[in-house]
Amino acid sequence: GRATEIVDIAHYLPLAHEDWTRSGPAKAAPAGRTVLLVDDSAFFREMLTPVLKAAGYRVMPAASADEALAIVAAGTKVDILVTDVEMPGKSGFQLVEAL
């Protein structure tokens, strides 16, 4: 009697990493590439982190724009930023502007 939303992760994995289902070694991300993954939703951070790690990236998750800015301010080298746009506090656009 209640609606349930189901996310089919198997659908999204090949979209994120095209050779996910092929046999043989996958192409790894260039060594040392760090992704700063910013999303206020723990669900999405926990869903994307293993996909990015499987692609060979080092992942630095952050639950807010302020947390992401603190990570960068602490001296963490970030090569790629993946951010949610709508977050409480600072938006993803404000985060990019601050960086």
Cα 14 to Cα 22: distance, rounded to the nearest angstrom: 10
Q: What does pTM read for this prediction?
A: 0.70
21 touches 46 (CB < 8 A): no
Give residue-wise pLDDT tens across range 3-55. 777 777 777 777 777 766 665 555 555 667 999 999 999 999 999 998 888 88
Tokens representing 21 are 């289902």
Cα 49 to Cα 72: distance, rounded to the nearest angstrom: 18
Whose tokens are 């206020």? That residue is 40
Cα 33 to Cα 29: distance, rounded to the nearest angstrom: 7
